[in-house]
């Protein structure tokens, strides 16, 4: 029985995660514990949610550079409305989720109907959302609302430790995304468009609607990640999530999703986020290394995985020919 080639990148990512976790366990006392694993999820829950949305975008053959700025804008809108204007969180949170979804839908519509490269459109969206943050305020807005502080301080006990509510939200998003990607017509359309948009049009698939929905989903995930980030930081600030779009893309690619679209798995993205978390944890355990080594290691891994994907793609083409 031969292993399907499309599963190879995910298995490589899983093997790398296991190897890094094993190496950390052998080198550092206390590294191999359930709470360390839970902490990976606690500290990266907002990244995981954002990466889920980005996975759908990249699977469709696109890219979204606005995710970090949308997160920052969400934190600023939440903080300003809740703290400075006295709005209840029950109104603010659904409103910012709708705002992020609409922002993504507008970018998706511009990308498709005006036939502009996703890189350019989402780059403009990134600058727009980040600029709107400073229109609201150039300073940090601290959140002291009882609902936000209660959510931030809530710990859910699990065997060997605890997690936060943010982790549960992130895991629910991952499970829903797995179902959406692999067990629905929408997911099959996304894979088809990423494989070949021209062929999808010839088959009569609703390319325009699917692409707009993909960017709507990415905007929703970004705004939801912004809500989770607000719970995590208890503040709104225009510099929040600076550069997170690059970390998100890196997590998706390291997770085995092809940048050209059409191939990838939500589970791989989940593993890619965990790998970034393990790298950060190892560097923090080391103590003597600068935090910038996280970026260096992630950059090297990104190079390796892109080259690996290139090799797999060339082999797939040679086999077909």
Structure confidence by residue, pLDDT tens digits, 225-248: 999 999 999 999 999 999 999 999
* Least confidently predicted of 133-142, 160-169, 291-300: 291-300
Question: Does the pLDDT value for residue 283 go beyond 90?
Answer: no
Nearest to 302 by CA among 243, 244, 246: 246
Q: CA 45 to CA 177: how far, in whole Å?
A: 15
pLDDT band for position 28 (cuts 50, 70, 90): confident
Question: Does the pLDDT value for residue 1 go beyond 50?
Answer: no
Q: Residue 313 has what pLDDT?
A: 61
* Least confidently predicted of 11-15, 45-49, 88-92, 171-175: 11-15
More confident residue, 57 or 259: 57
- DSSP track, 24-41: HHHHSTT-SSHHHHHHHH
Q: Compute the average pLDDT of residues 157-174.
A: 96
Q: How many Cα neighbours within 13 Å face the side chain of 221?
A: 31
**How far, in Å, are 51, 189, 288, 312 from residue 165 at the CA level?**
18, 32, 32, 39
Q: CA 172 to CA 168: how far, in whole Å?
A: 6
Give me 120's structure tokens.
Answer: 């350019």
Q: CA 303 to CA 79: how far, in whole Å?
A: 38
Q: CA 212 to CA 208: how far, in whole Å?
A: 6
Q: Residue 303 has what pLDDT?
A: 83
Q: Which CATH number fits domain 5-313: 1.10.10, 1.10.3470, 2.20.28, 2.60.40?
A: 1.10.3470
| Span 238-279, pLDDT tens digits | 999 999 999 999 999 999 898 889 989 999 999 999 999 998
Q: Compute the average pLDDT of residues 165-193.
A: 97
**Under a CB-based contact definition with an 8 Å cutoff, are residues 37 and 278 in contact?**
no
Please, what sign has the CA dihedral across residues 133, 76, 108, 95? negative
| Span 69-113, pLDDT tens digits | 999 999 999 999 999 999 999 999 999 999 999 999 999 999 999
Q: Residue 317 has what pLDDT?
A: 47
| Span 186-226, pLDDT tens digits | 999 999 999 999 999 999 999 999 999 999 999 999 999 99
Q: Residue 43 has what pLDDT?
A: 95
Model's pTM, two decimal places?
0.94
Cα 21–chain centre separation:
22
Q: Residue 2 has what pLDDT?
A: 52
Which residues face 163 on adjacent strands? 156
**Under a CB-based contact definition with an 8 Å cutoff, are residues 226 and 80 in contact?**
no
Q: Compute the average pLDDT of residues 173-178.
A: 98
């Amino acid at each position: 029985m031969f292993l399907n080639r499309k599963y190879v990148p995910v298995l490589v990512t899983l093997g790398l995660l296991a190897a890094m976790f094993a190496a950390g366990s052998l080198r550092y006392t206390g590294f191999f514990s359930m709470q360390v694993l839970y902490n990976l999820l606690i500290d990266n829950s907002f990244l995981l949610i954002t990466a889920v949305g980005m996975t759908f975008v990249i699977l469709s053959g696109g890219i979204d550079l606005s995710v970090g700025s949308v997160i920052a804008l969400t934190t600023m809108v939440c903080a300003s409305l809740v703290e400075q204007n006295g709005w209840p969180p029950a109104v603010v949170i659904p409103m910012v989720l709708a705002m992020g979804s609409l922002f993504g839908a507008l970018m998706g519509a511009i990308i498709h109907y005006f036939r502009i490269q996703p890189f350019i459109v989402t780059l403009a969206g990134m600058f727009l959302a980040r600029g709107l943050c400073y229109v609201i305020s150039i300073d940090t807005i601290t959140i002291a609302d009882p609902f936000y502080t209660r959510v931030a301080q809530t710990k859910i006990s699990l065997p060997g430790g605890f997690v936060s509510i943010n982790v549960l939200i992130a895991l629910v998003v991952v499970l829903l995304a797995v179902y959406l990607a692999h067990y629905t017509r929408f997911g099959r359309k996304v894979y088809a468009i990423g494989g070949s948009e021209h062929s999808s049009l010839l088959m009569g698939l609703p390319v325009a609607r699917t692409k707009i929905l993909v960017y709507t989903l990415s905007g929703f995930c970004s705004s939801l990640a912004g809500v989770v980030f607000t719970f995590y930081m208890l503040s709104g600030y225009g510099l929040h999530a600076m550069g997170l779009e690059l970390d998100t893309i890196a997590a998706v690619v390291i997770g085995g999703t092809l940048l050209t679209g059409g191939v990838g798995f939500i589970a791989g993205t989940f593993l890619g986020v965990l790998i970034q978390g393990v790298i950060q944890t190892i560097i923090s355990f080391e103590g003597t290394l600068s935090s910038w080594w996280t970026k260096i290691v992630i950059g090297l891994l990104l190079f390796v995985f892109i080259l690996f994907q290139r090799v797999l793609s060339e082999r797939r083409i040679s086999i077909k020919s």
